[in-house]
Amino acid sequence: MDIVFIKQLQVDTVIGVYDWEKSMSQSLFLDLALHTDLRQAAAADDIKLTLDYAVIAEKVSKLITAQPIELIETVAERVAAMLLAEFATSKVEVTVHKPGAVPKAQTVGVSIVRSRS
Active site positions, annotated:
98
Give the three-state DSSP class for 46: coil
Amino acid identity for residue 54 in this structure:
A
Angle (CA) 73 25 53, round 5°: 60
Angle between helices 72-86 and 53-65 (to 10 degrees): 140
Do 83 and 26 touch, CB atoms closer than 8 A? Answer: no
